[in-house]
Amino acid sequence: MTPLRKSVVEIFMSEIESRDFIRQIIHDDLASGKHQQVVTRFPPEPNGYLHIGHVMAICLNFGVTAETGGRTYLRFDDTNPGKEKVEYVDAIERDVRWLGFDWQDRLTHASDYFGQLHKAAVRLIEIDKAYVDSLSAEDTRTYRGTLTEAGKNSPYRDRSVAENLELFERMRNGEFADGEMMLRAKIDMASPNMNLRDPALYRIRHLSHQHTGDSWCIYPLYDFAHTMSDAFEGVTHSLCTLEFEDHRPLYNWFLEQLKPEHLPRQIEFSRLNLAYAITSKRKLNALVEEGIVDGWDDPRMPTISGMRRRGYPAAALLDFVRRAGVTKKNKLIEMGAFENCLRENLGEESPRRMAVLRPLKVVLSNYPDDKVEMMEAMNHPGRPEMGTRSLPFSRELWIEQDDFMEEAPRKFFRLKPDGEVRLRFGYIIRCDEVIKNDAGDVVELRCSYDPDTRSGTGRSERKVKGTIHWVSSAHCIDAEVNLYDRLFTEVNPNKAEDFRAVLNATSLETVSAKLEPSLSELSSGEVVQFERLGYFCPDSETDSANKRIFNRVVTLRDSWAKLEKQAMQQQG
């Protein structure tokens, strides 16, 4: 296969001339001398697989440091042992590497800092900025108030520093049950920002942790662990999506109280939302757990692993997020825009091959039974450097059912009774007889070929308007081909009361196809264009030459374009 033409750094260096607002901030910070080097982090929680929205965050965090000579940490936000798995950790590392990014020796975990986080929590207690609360979960919710009504102080808020230190140590030692105690910051229960109403810092969870084992039975909450981990790692620019904008005052409060050596700055950007897709991990997990899809790497899933299995090139994903841009405005991007990035990348890079998805037998009555010719076929019409291949041609062939019509309209230029068509790289043939089964279905065409019309010989001046593809019946390989479509019928399934109600019942169709023999050599992840049909690649679960499985990556044309445009307009 032809290698990708742009490296990760090359793709993102193209951003510099038209800086987004984050890159402008970073440029100004470096120019002013505020920072000598940019430090960022990509901090996924290992509670599921990464999806298309994460690609934006990965590209931004690793991209800005690639452009400026900085460094990026891959840090696992592993503070919730009830939902995290080593499987997810491994998948995240694999996905980031596949996209082309390298964290080098900067692989960290929030759990690496559990000792430092514990000390920071103790310090907050010592300066009377944190307390151990004994309210039940229900009472905690009641005391918190609402968006329009202030909360009220817990009756345990005024415990002494000494009592809080003692209780927190007993929490650490495992003396209390889950939910019996929690450590909370002491800020302002009347704050209009709900995140500042004495947020939880530590909760008790008697669970084994996928990274630290049974060393801890208390675990820090995200806001606290994330802020302080940024500070511990010397992060200069903590880049996160817009839903964390209301969390920034809390982020800054921790830094103001604890005064770490490094003071990171949180900056928010809009997340990448793709039409006809969901990116909620909770909903994606439901799709997996309920058996609606075949795992996190199902090719219909918007996960990076699903897209890789389907055959999406990493370069196309990078190009897509570059075009989407980094903004402050939430946006829903058309699926058609994403698929066009795929087509542009694959159209240039993918060799052409011939495959018949819905086979109809053609017998050339005047072609010798034992004769086999090798037809020279171009691997790519626009790139002669990709060379040619030989296709076996014989008396019995397969063509697409759609390439024959018994009662054809005047402008149907494919095969019809008494009509002629050219077989690509082969001969002109005429349909002489139509064979049907007892049900009246067409099962075979008896045709004749013109031996003077072989492609490339120049022996015949005869022209016909239609050209169709084919494979030799005696030499083709059998394969199952998965024809994937959009998983949802609604442009924004997140707005549905139940996303299951807008699932696309025809998101997967599997057909028994006939492929040219060279496709038996194709490896998983290699993409080819099935001429006239779309882009396809072998599925990673293909296990033998006798059972080939191919996935459709994307069609040649966007059949949803008009429908999607109308739906997007209705969404505003």
Q: Which residues are 353's β-sheet partners?
A: 530
Find the mean pLDDT for residues 521-549: 86
Of 522, 534, 507, which Cα lies nearest the Cα of 477? Answer: 522
Domain check: are 48 and 147 in the same one? Answer: yes
Number of domains in the chain: 3
Domain check: are 306 and 445 in the same one? Answer: no
Domain check: are 154 and 186 in the same one? Answer: yes
- Which residues, including other chains, have CB under 8 Å from residue 120's CB and lie 6 or more apart? 224, 228, 258
What is the spatial distance between Cα 379 and Cα 118, in angstroms, rounded to a whole number? 62
Find the mean pLDDT for residues 51-65: 96
Domain boundary among 404, 439, 469: 469
pLDDT band at 440 (very low <50, low <70, confident <90, very high): very high
Domain boundary among 250, 266, 282: 266
Domain with 58, as residue range(s), is: 1-266
Domain check: are 306 and 395 in the same one? Answer: no
Question: Is it the case that residue 271 has pLDDT exceeding 70?
Answer: yes
User: CATH number, domain at 127?
Assistant: 3.40.50.620
Question: Is it the case that residue 270 has pLDDT exceeding 80?
Answer: yes
Burial classification of residue 241, based on how many CB atoms lie within 10 Å of its CB (0-12 exposed, 13-18 middle, 19 or more buried): middle
Find the mean pLDDT for residues 501-512: 96
Q: Which residues are 488's β-sheet partners?
A: 503
Question: Is it the case that residue 16 has pLDDT exceeding 70?
Answer: no
Question: Is it the case that residue 569 has pLDDT exceeding 90?
Answer: no
Domain boundary among 266, 287, 313: 266
Find the mean pLDDT for residues 166-193: 97
pLDDT of 446 reads 98
Question: Is it the case that residue 348 has pLDDT exceeding 50?
Answer: yes
pLDDT band at 547 (very low <50, low <70, confident <90, very high): confident
Average pLDDT, the chain: 92
Domain check: are 1 and 100 in the same one? Answer: yes
| C-alpha to C-alpha distances, 418 to 89, 368, 431, 447, nearest whole angstrom | 62, 21, 5, 9
| C-alpha to C-alpha distances, 17 to 5, 12, 164, 317, 470, nearest whole angstrom | 20, 10, 54, 21, 48
Domain check: are 489 and 463 in the same one? Answer: no
Question: Is it the case that residue 445 has pLDDT exceeding 70?
Answer: yes
- Which residues, including other chains, have CB under 8 Å from residue 211's CB and lie 6 or more apart? 76, 78, 89, 109, 111
pLDDT of 559 reads 60
Domain check: are 59 and 204 in the same one? Answer: yes
Domain check: are 409 and 542 in the same one? Answer: no
Catalytic residues: 45, 271, 281
Question: Is it the case that residue 2 has pLDDT exceeding 50?
Answer: no
Question: Is it the case that residue 529 has pLDDT exceeding 80?
Answer: yes
What is the spatial distance between Cα 502 and Cα 491, in angstroms, rounded to a whole number? 10
Domain check: are 112 and 233 in the same one? Answer: yes
pLDDT in tens, 220-251: 999 999 999 999 999 999 999 999 999 999 99
Percent of the chain whose pLDDT exceeds 90:
89
User: CATH number, domain at 365?
Assistant: 2.40.240.10
Find the mean pLDDT for residues 271-282: 93
Question: Is it the case that residue 461 has pLDDT exceeding 80?
Answer: no
pLDDT in tens, 469-489: 999 999 999 999 999 999 999
Question: Is it the case that residue 546 has pLDDT exceeding 90?
Answer: no
Domain check: are 416 and 555 in the same one? Answer: no
Domain check: are 363 and 287 in the same one? Answer: no
pLDDT of 564 reads 46
Domain check: are 83 and 227 in the same one? Answer: yes
pLDDT of 456 reads 83
Find the mean pLDDT for residues 111-134: 98
Provide the whole-model pTM.
Answer: 0.90
What is the spatial distance between Cα 82 and Cα 284, in angstroms, rounded to a whole number? 17
pLDDT of 89 reads 96
Find the mean pLDDT for residues 385-392: 96
Question: Is it the case that residue 12 has pLDDT exceeding 90?
Answer: no
pLDDT of 566 reads 54
What is the spatial distance between Cα 385 and Cα 291, in angstroms, rounded to a whole number? 45
Q: Which residues are 71's β-sheet partners?
A: 39
pLDDT of 5 reads 42
pLDDT band at 568 (very low <50, low <70, confident <90, very high): very low
| C-alpha to C-alpha distances, 483 to 28, 535, 551, nearest whole angstrom | 49, 11, 6
Sign of the CA dihedral with 461 first, then 464, 470, and 472 last: negative
Percent of the chain whose pLDDT exceeds 70:
93
